[in-house]
Amino acid sequence: MDNALLREDGYGRPRSTPVAAAGFVRIGLGDGLCHVGAKTILMPARELEICATIGLNGRPIATEALLDLVWPDNETARARTCLKVHVHRIRARLGQRSALICSSERWALGPEVTLDLWEWERMASQAGPVPSIEPQRNALFATFDALLAGPAPSLARSHLGARLDMAFLELLQRVGSALIDDAFARRDLAGAARLARSAIAVDPYRERWHEALIRAQVDQGDLFAARSSLRSYQATLQAELGEPLPKAIESLLSKGASAV
């Protein structure tokens, strides 16, 4: 994942710091919800965009840069007025003035604020290549489902849309790969296939998902389904990308056939 999406430079709270249940704010780039302690708030589209733009910058963002991103078609004076109004609303909505910090015309999220994307990335890093305990596995499944859903619709339509789509897909690969490897390790072949199909539905070109699906079908002894999956992937690559089928995936099917 692009390091600019993560708070890794020591500004505010390091990304490894756990979020307390009370007194902290969690902004959801996936569902558009903001959790303030035990309270859940639906963030208006523009307020969510402002918080996301500031947070995803990776370091304090200059006012002018923020205005250019959020209000590119407005003159500077009008954009500054809009920013002041929305910052006031965000602080009032969250009940914490320190949720948004401005120092020397540079904006940052306060140390009590986190983004769901940061939490998911931290969880993926801590899980390792294969989740080892049930609570960890369950948390990764919840993260996997959230990543499948993609960014909040209002953010998908904003200037952050393409960047967030890529970030969600890259993190989906890490989380999904860990869960699929775990499913194979536990010989849960049906589970591995379900995970792969879910990922293919939103990320249809990635070789990892098709390899996992075909491998699971071959290991289950269902060569007919494996051939069908292979032909479908081959047709997609050829029609939409003009690329041949990866040799590694072809070899999966040949190994399965020779084992029968």
Find tokens 């294969």 and name the residue: 130
The answer to whether 130 touches 182, Cβ cutoff 8 Å, is yes
Q: Is this prediction's pTM over 0.95?
A: no
Q: Which domain holds residue 259?
A: 187-260
In a domain, 19, yes or no: yes
Domain count, the chain: 2
In a domain, 177, yes or no: no
Confidence of residue 94 (pLDDT cuts 50, 70, 90): very high
Beta bridge partners of 113: 25
pLDDT at 10: 33
In this structure, what CATH number is given to the domain that contains residue 206? 1.25.40.10
Q: In whole angstroms, what separates CA 55 from the centre of its chain?
A: 14
In a domain, 181, yes or no: no
97 DSSP 8-state letter: G
Q: What is the mean pLDDT of residues 81-95?
A: 95
Q: What is the pLDDT of residues 148-172, one digit of tens each?
A: 999 999 999 999 999 999 999 999 9
Query: Measured between alpha carbons, how far is 203 from 27 in angstroms, rounded to an integer?
Result: 25
In a domain, 179, yes or no: no
In a domain, 180, yes or no: no
Same structural domain for residues 2 and 78? yes
Query: Measured between alpha carbons, how far is 11 from 120 in angstroms, rounded to an integer?
Result: 19
Cα dist. 20→26, 30, 121 in Å?
10, 20, 18
Query: Measured between alpha carbons, how far is 101 from 143 in angstroms, rounded to an integer?
Result: 29
In this structure, what CATH number is given to the domain that contains residue 71? 1.10.10.10
Confidence of residue 258 (pLDDT cuts 50, 70, 90): low
Q: What is the pLDDT of residues 19-52, one digit of tens each?
A: 444 568 999 999 999 999 889 999 999 999 999 9
Q: Which residues lie closer than 8 Å to 219 by C-beta, 6 or more apart?
A: 189, 256
Same structural domain for residues 118 and 60? yes
Q: What is the mean pLDDT of residues 52-81?
A: 94
